[in-house]
Structure 1
Amino acid sequence: MKEILSNKLFKRSARTIAVLILLACAGGPADLNEFTSYFLPETATAQAGDGRYHFTQQFLYLDDYSDTLRPEKDINSQAWAKYAGVDETIAYNYFYTESANNTLPNRLMLKGNKAAVTYLQLAKSIEKSYQPSVYSWEEGSKDSLVLVEAFAKSQQLARSTTDPFLKERYGYQAVKLAMILEQPDNCVKLYDELIKPLKTKTFISDWAFSRKAGATMALGDTAKALYEFAQLFDRCPSRRREADLSLRIKGVRFQEKALDYCQNNDEKAAVYALSAIQPLEDGLPMLKKVTELNPKNALIELITAREINKNEYYANGEMPYVEDTLAYEKRRGESKSYFEQLGDFCADNATNKALSNPSFWYTSASYVAYVNKDYKKSEEYLAQAKAAPAPNDYLKQQMDIQEVLLLIAQQEGITSEFEGKVIGMLEKLNKSVNFRIVNAYTRACGLLAKMYRGQPTEEKKSGGWWSSCSSKSSGDVSATHLAKAFLLEAAASWQSRPANADGYAPAFATNLDRYAVEDSTSVATLREAISYAQQPQLDDFGKRLVGLSGVNADYLNVVLGRRLLGEHQYAQAAEVWKNVSPKTWTESPFSDYLTENPFYIKPDNGQSPSQTLTPAAFAARMVQLETQMKAGDAQAAYLLACGAYNMGYFGNSWLLLNRQRSSSEYEYTYPPRDLTGVDYYTAAKAKTYFEKALQLTKDPELAAKAAFGASLCEESTFYVFKANEGRDLGYDEATQAAFKKRMNEEQKKRLGKYFDLLRRNYANSAYTKEIIEECSTYRDFVGQ
């Protein structure tokens, strides 16, 4: 008998990482920043790389594209190329590639510019001597002796050189080294001496100003540091990321005192703008200030989109996992009023002549009105948005999202005209890999499914059409509508998403699991879905809906046959599986996982272990065996039991009933649930067949096989019991040892009935002797 190990230390990690043998699998999280949102922040006009400032639940935004965008490399290479009179690729190669060569300094030497070569040598020595760690678990390197010498040399050359290009760079190196050597006071002084007086300043002066702002922060003047980083963020794209992170990591929020350092309204707007994109800030008051002080500030639209997304987090979907649920609910309650104010702000800005892009503002106002369930106003704003030029494709996609959600929200009944409109809208959205578009598509499919079932949707206002009736019972809904509802939910699943280049369907949190949808759908509805999909004269909507669902009649017949087989309706399963193309059984997953004889059980029960059967042949064989059993055939009862056992979780042919299997799924169900009544795990029906074989047979060999088979079913039930008992068990050694001892006693007791039968009545049978050789649990029971 096999032994399934239970390791509580493994359980801890298994809750996080399920080791699944998947027949078809999603490609994992498609976006680490995903949350329930239907508004695209990309609609906002923004600079390259500003996507990292979109709202996310993460403290530090993870966006590979934005975070790998390094404008400093390009701008510095271009500056050196122009200065040295060389191609930009030569400068870029020298500074930023692993296979750097000396073409740049060689060209400078040929032109007699030895001073520039001296600078390059100093800069390279500084770079080699100070390499900070990129990740927290790594150690950086710092050669203080070399850096101190370079610090002195850079100051001396910054003061003595007359070349403006080199003078600015030596000053920058001196300011930078002061901070590397942990001398913030010196950093500020050197900036004021070496950089501030320069008549001509380039981005290099801003890089030095970045170090100076860091020194201000290190000296404890957070208000002034906020001011300085805000100006840097506003005017220096190549240090924008560093300016933001310098505040974000320290948790610096808006301070009124920072405005005292501002020289004009643009500088004040910059302070408000950078503060508005920090975590834990309500950005709308600051956003209004930015718009008032500097309507040309590039962040106005981005901050608006950020505030919309931030409030979606509270307005949409269920409460996420948070430590302080009371605080979350309080914030959710406050967000409605805040959202209304945000909507008014967007509507006002749409007609504000000082701002551009009315299409963005009308679209934003429309979306906020939709969330607030003011659909008439939302529709009016959306029409005005469409009438204005849309500067980017994301804005057009956002309009598509709102159009379909508004259509569904205001539709008061299913009509062919409505179906014709909505199917085209769904087709526009279903191929996207943007999680917000996928969110909207999934939402639309779910709401439509409710409409087809006659169920109320949350879209309807109180007192609206849906409030006049309660949810219809399934008996009041037409079979066709039930079929369409099922197909829409299948269309909203990750399994129905288009595969990417790697052959995986990217999975999003809002996507349904088609397998769960199928398992929760009645057999009657599955039959209706098959009939609907197979209609010879299926209309255009139906054909397109089946296409979106990702299923066809052949697939659905496999699903229906599994459901019937799981209910031990063998004749019905066999009949349904006659409709499945024989080619289906020869392809993956069946060719990969259905590779053993479903009537074979160890130790050798007289059946060929390598003989394989298609699901259709298996079901037909089960029908035959069931008929023979009813006629009193003990061998047929035994084989029927073997088949029923092997098509369950612990059997060799679980694929007959399920599409996927985890090595420990019965232990780590999420959410936790009691599986003691689930035949797939407990093999309760198989046990009744083994018991029937015991009743019918007079052959001790067959009786021994049947008794052992029944003990396997008891063992399955025991494993489920053990999983339930150990689910909330502590991890300390003493607790684990006590639990193991108790489970060993429980196992003997729960398997004792059939083990005792083997020992008392069939100890001398050849099969029982094989069991002693093969099954350690039985050997322990009999003391051998």
Structure 2
Amino acid sequence: MLLACAGGPADLNEFTSYFLPESANTQPSDGRYHYTQQFLYLDEYSDSLRLAENTNAEAWAKYAGVSNDIAYNYFYAESANNTLPNRLMLKGNKAAIAYLQFAKTVDKAYQPATYAWEEGRKDSLVLVESYEKAKQSARVATDGFLKERYGFQAVKLAMMLDQPDACVKLYDELIKPLKTKSFISDWAYARHAGASMAMGDTAKAIYEFAQVFERCPSRRREADLSLRMKGVMFQEKALTYCQNDAEKAAVYALCAIQPFQDGLPFLKKMVELNPKNSLIELIAAREINKTEYYSLGEIPYTEDTLAFEAHRKESPSYFEQLQSFTAESAENKTLNNAAFWYTAASYLAYVNKDYNKASDFLTKAQAQPTQNSYLKQQMALQQMLLLIAKQETITPEFETQAIGMLETFSGSDNFRLVNAYTRACGLLAKMYRGQPLDDKKSGGFLSSCGKKSEEVPATHLAKAFLFEAAASWQSRPQNQDYSPIFATNKDRYAIEDSTSTETIEQVIKYLQVPTPTDFDKRLMKLSGVDADYLYVVLGRKYLLQHQYAKAAEAFGKVTPTQWTAETSVFPTYFDENPFHLTPDNGESKKHTFTPATFAKRMTELESQMSKGDAKAAYLLGCGAYNIGYWGNSWILSQRQRSSAEYQYMYPPRDLSGEDYYVMNKARTYFEKAMQTKDAELAAKAAFGAALCEQSAFFIYQANEGRDLGYGEDEQTAFQKRMSAEEKKRLGKYFALLRSKYAATQYTKEVLEECSQYRDFVGGE
């Protein structure tokens, strides 16, 4: 399921994979048979080829002596015209015109539903009449082109009328004896296979669909789906119908692309029986991708988790078997395209952490000729991953090689290339931090021991951050038409949240080095961040820590136009005075602050508060509250906010210790302000403190209800308990408003505008 939210998969078929199935030498229409975890998923570019439509139109164009466009328009265009029958009329071919009219009648009488929620239409009377006419016309036609088509119509109509036995007999009578056969006979044979399936002879149906799949590209999709939709698996008996080894290989090929089974045994049989079978490479790529799906990524949502985990446990052994097979195939002289087989063997050796063997295979692959651009990309991808896996020290030469390879893949919209790019960036970040790499073998340089964090050079920490930023979806090339975001991309916001202020400061120093190297410049560009961006990050971090002077210093170094630029978020989200609270606390809603001037004002207020200024303490409380989750100026401390994130945060975590959500700091300011003798100011501060308590209560309520069921009784009991807790937890400051500050004008406004306070007063 795709949701209309940012940050989700850009490709319905996306999963963790680093091996391009297009590396296999296949026809474009075979792309639909690349491995996918989507059971009936059909990729768009294969569907756009319209093989059946184009094949039929080309045949009619040749027969009628017209252009392909004229024939295609008559059969398949939404606004079809009669140019084709008009041309046939000019040539005096009334028999062909009669067939066209007959075929249109059949099509109108039987229109199956396109989608499951629609109803199809079937005019049985017209179909029965057409059925008899098709049989009669096929028997008497003298035009071979039309005779074959009438025969096909008869076979097809028999199945439409649920007469599979008649379908088989009519095929044997009307199609099988034809001396000259075209793809139309294969279309009829596909119906014959469907009849075998309908009559319960599944093994024979497997054999027949396999032959259709092998020799008829325009019915390949239907042959595959006829087995796939019914969950039909390989049956040994299907081989007994085969006349030769090529037909047996075709059976293995069709069965190998069916889900829920290992294809390697079938693949080995195909190589043995018919090494020229065009799908051998594709099936090998399928098995690699399938095993990646089970072994490399996170366990996805699946109804049968135990079965998935069982597959995962078997994956290492299966990868080893695949490596042996591909290595043998690379040396098999009966198979062409050694470049593919060596590349596959190299990748599998890499997955199995045999990096020396992977490098040897890759060198052999690169020495082989190939015109396949995807295969060349796969070689480059593996060279990048192997470079990092085998590198034990960071050197200038290594940095130059790595950045050059990353630049090659940074703009890709192929999720597998993005997977590899993201992985490479993440591994490089680990290397710079001196952390163990999961790619390293046991006992490897970086797996056995890592540098202590205090020993890591500051520039290395900066580079690590920039590499991680480069792997974020925010750093990917974007345009107004398409912004590819993949599940494996990092989120730059999450990277920022997990990075210390000290590291951000080191990154800024790195970006501002007076004489950057060529590598430095390229890494900065790849990361997609600049000094302005990082000063905003730093300022936000200091605001979250309530270090206002440092925040003012950081924000003060941002180019002033950044606050008002068209691409800036601040004009949209920083649109209320950060010192204003509702009910009206005397501060205008309008403001002229920038993040820099706001932080500077908070610094001034902090100084004034330290001298006993209660009004300054109150305004500090307002400012601290408003830069938190519940405030009107959260954008000053965060890049993004969701209205329900505290309730549905994933993975769930306790937020009761995070000031951004519970407003503890703001409450201390309000409590300081309440010490004033000015009753109106104290009332405002008490209400501000109550807002902070309310914020903490919302977090408490979310934590308490995280495992709450949907039962009505359970929900009612929970709401009752929370209502009591709310009154108890908000009682302290509301009690002050009711008793000590009830006569103030501000408390009267609170009574009028705040329903929680009214409930509190009414319940006392």
* Residue in structure 1 matched with residue 534 of structure 2 by the alignment: 556
Is 1:53–2:30 an aligned residue pair? Answer: no
* Residue in structure 2 matched with residue 766 of structure 1 by the alignment: 745
Is 1:573–2:575 an aligned residue pair? Answer: no
Identify which of 253, 257, 269 aligns with 2:233: 253
* Residue in structure 2 matched with residue 9 of structure 1 by the alignment: none
Identify which of 492, 514, 517 aligns with 1:539: 517
Judging changes above 3 Å, is the alpha-carbon distance between structure 1 residues 345 and 86 closer, same or farther for their aligned structure 2 residues?
Answer: same
Is 1:621–2:606 an aligned residue pair? Answer: no
TM-score by structure 2 length?
A: 0.98
* Residue in structure 2 matched with residue 630 of structure 1 by the alignment: 610
Is 1:193–2:164 an aligned residue pair? Answer: no
* Residue in structure 2 matched with residue 5 of structure 1 by the alignment: none
Displacement of 1:467 in angstroms is 4.2
- Give 3-state SS (helix, strand or coil) of 2:28's partner: coil
Contact 1:52–1:62, Cα closer than 8 Å, also in 2:
yes
CA distance in structure 1 between the aligned counterparts of 2:665 and 2:480, rounded to whole angstroms: 44
Contact 1:217–1:225, Cα closer than 8 Å, also in 2:
yes
* Residue in structure 2 matched with residue 7 of structure 1 by the alignment: none
- Give 3-state SS (helix, strand or coil) of 1:666's partner: helix
Identify which of 339, 355, 380 aligns with 1:375: 355
Identify which of 498, 505, 509 aligns with 1:520: 498
CA distance in structure 2 between the aligned counterparts of 1:18 and 1:120, rounded to whole angstroms: 45
Displacement of 1:328 in angstroms is 3.2
Out of 397-406 and 727-736, give the one that drifted further: 727-736
CA distance in structure 2 between the aligned counterparts of 1:692 and 1:473, rounded to whole angstroms: 43
* Residue in structure 1 matched with residue 715 of structure 2 by the alignment: 736
Judging changes above 3 Å, is the alpha-carbon distance between structure 1 residues 200 and 62 closer, same or farther for their aligned structure 2 residues?
Answer: closer
Displacement of 1:322 in angstroms is 3.9
* Residue in structure 1 matched with residue 101 of structure 2 by the alignment: 121
CA distance in structure 2 between the aligned counterparts of 1:366 and 1:468, rounded to whole angstroms: 25
Judging changes above 3 Å, is the alpha-carbon distance between structure 1 residues 291 and 501 closer, same or farther for their aligned structure 2 residues?
Answer: farther
Contact 1:53–1:61, Cα closer than 8 Å, also in 2:
no
* Residue in structure 1 matched with residue 299 of structure 2 by the alignment: 319
Displacement of 1:279 in angstroms is 0.4
- Give 3-state SS (helix, strand or coil) of 2:647's partner: coil
* Residue in structure 1 matched with residue 475 of structure 2 by the alignment: 496
* Residue in structure 2 matched with residue 218 of structure 1 by the alignment: 198
Identify which of 271, 280, 285 aligns with 2:260: 280
* Residue in structure 1 matched with residue 754 of structure 2 by the alignment: 775
* Residue in structure 1 matched with residue 117 of structure 2 by the alignment: 137
Contact 2:751–2:757, Cα closer than 8 Å, also in 1:
yes
Contact 1:707–1:757, Cα closer than 8 Å, also in 2:
yes
> Which structure exhibits the higher relative contact order, with contacts defined as CA atoms closer than 8 Å and separated by 6 or more residues?
1
* Residue in structure 2 matched with residue 756 of structure 1 by the alignment: 735
Identify which of 271, 278, 281 aligns with 1:291: 271
Displacement of 1:339 in angstroms is 1.7
CA offset digits 1:584-632 (Å, max 9, x no partner): 1112211111111000001111011021411001100000111111111
Query: One-letter code of the match for 1:482?
Result: L
CA offset digits 1:288-317 (Å, max 9, x no partner): 111111111110110111111112223324
Displacement of 1:726 in angstroms is 1.5
Displacement of 1:476 in angstroms is 1.3
CA distance in structure 2 between the aligned counterparts of 1:325 and 1:156, rounded to whole angstroms: 56
TM-score by structure 1 length?
A: 0.95
CA distance in structure 2 between the aligned counterparts of 1:473 and 1:320, rounded to whole angstroms: 35
Structure 1 stretches of 5 or more lacking a match?
Answer: 1-12, 20-24
CA distance in structure 2 between the aligned counterparts of 1:247 and 1:674, rounded to whole angstroms: 49
Contact 1:176–1:187, Cα closer than 8 Å, also in 2:
yes
* Residue in structure 2 matched with residue 8 of structure 1 by the alignment: none
CA distance in structure 1 between the aligned counterparts of 2:542 and 2:725, rounded to whole angstroms: 34
Structure 2 stretches of 5 or more lacking a match?
Answer: none
CA distance in structure 2 between the aligned counterparts of 1:763 and 1:446, rounded to whole angstroms: 59
CA distance in structure 2 between the aligned counterparts of 1:35 and 1:171, rounded to whole angstroms: 45
Displacement of 1:120 in angstroms is 0.9
Contact 1:357–1:391, Cα closer than 8 Å, also in 2:
no
Q: Report matched runs for 1:640-719 at 5 Å.
A: 640-695=620-675, 697-719=676-698
CA distance in structure 1 between the aligned counterparts of 2:462 and 2:248, rounded to whole angstroms: 59
Query: One-letter code of the match for 1:770?
Result: E
Displacement of 1:143 in angstroms is 1.0
Query: One-letter code of the match for 1:600?
Result: H
* Residue in structure 1 matched with residue 705 of structure 2 by the alignment: 726
- Give 3-state SS (helix, strand or coil) of 2:510's partner: helix
CA distance in structure 1 between the aligned counterparts of 2:345 and 2:109, rounded to whole angstroms: 54
Contact 1:595–1:612, Cα closer than 8 Å, also in 2:
no
CA offset digits 1:368-390 (Å, max 9, x no partner): 11111111111111111111112
Displacement of 1:323 in angstroms is 4.1
* Residue in structure 2 matched with residue 400 of structure 1 by the alignment: 380
Displacement of 1:271 in angstroms is 0.4
* Residue in structure 1 matched with residue 86 of structure 2 by the alignment: 106
Identify which of 437, 446, 449 aligns with 1:457: 437
Contact 1:676–1:682, Cα closer than 8 Å, also in 2:
yes
Judging changes above 3 Å, is the alpha-carbon distance between structure 1 residues 614 and 706 closer, same or farther for their aligned structure 2 residues?
Answer: same
Query: One-letter code of the match for 2:446?
Result: W
CA distance in structure 2 between the aligned counterparts of 1:107 and 1:57, rounded to whole angstroms: 48
Contact 2:438–2:447, Cα closer than 8 Å, also in 1:
no
Contact 2:436–2:448, Cα closer than 8 Å, also in 1:
no
Displacement of 1:501 in angstroms is 4.0
CA distance in structure 2 between the aligned counterparts of 1:739 and 1:322, rounded to whole angstroms: 31
Identify which of 569, 572, 585 aligns with 2:563: 585
CA offset digits 1:141-190 (Å, max 9, x no partner): 11111111111111111111111111111111111111111111111111
Displacement of 1:280 in angstroms is 1.3
CA distance in structure 2 between the aligned counterparts of 1:244 and 1:559, rounded to whole angstroms: 53
User: Percent identity, aligned pairs only?
Assistant: 70
- Number of residue pairs matched by the alignment: 761
CA distance in structure 2 between the aligned counterparts of 1:17 and 1:258, rounded to whole angstroms: 43
* Residue in structure 2 matched with residue 266 of structure 1 by the alignment: 246
Identify which of 596, 607, 628 aligns with 2:576: 596
CA distance in structure 2 between the aligned counterparts of 1:673 and 1:769, rounded to whole angstroms: 38
Displacement of 1:325 in angstroms is 4.1
CA distance in structure 1 between the aligned counterparts of 2:108 and 2:377, rounded to whole angstroms: 48
Query: One-letter code of the match for 2:455?
Result: D
- Give 3-state SS (helix, strand or coil) of 2:645's partner: coil
Displacement of 1:522 in angstroms is 1.0
* Residue in structure 2 matched with residue 4 of structure 1 by the alignment: none
- Give 3-state SS (helix, strand or coil) of 1:507's partner: coil
CA distance in structure 2 between the aligned counterparts of 1:17 and 1:308, rounded to whole angstroms: 29
Is 1:36–2:16 an aligned residue pair? Answer: yes
* Residue in structure 1 matched with residue 126 of structure 2 by the alignment: 146
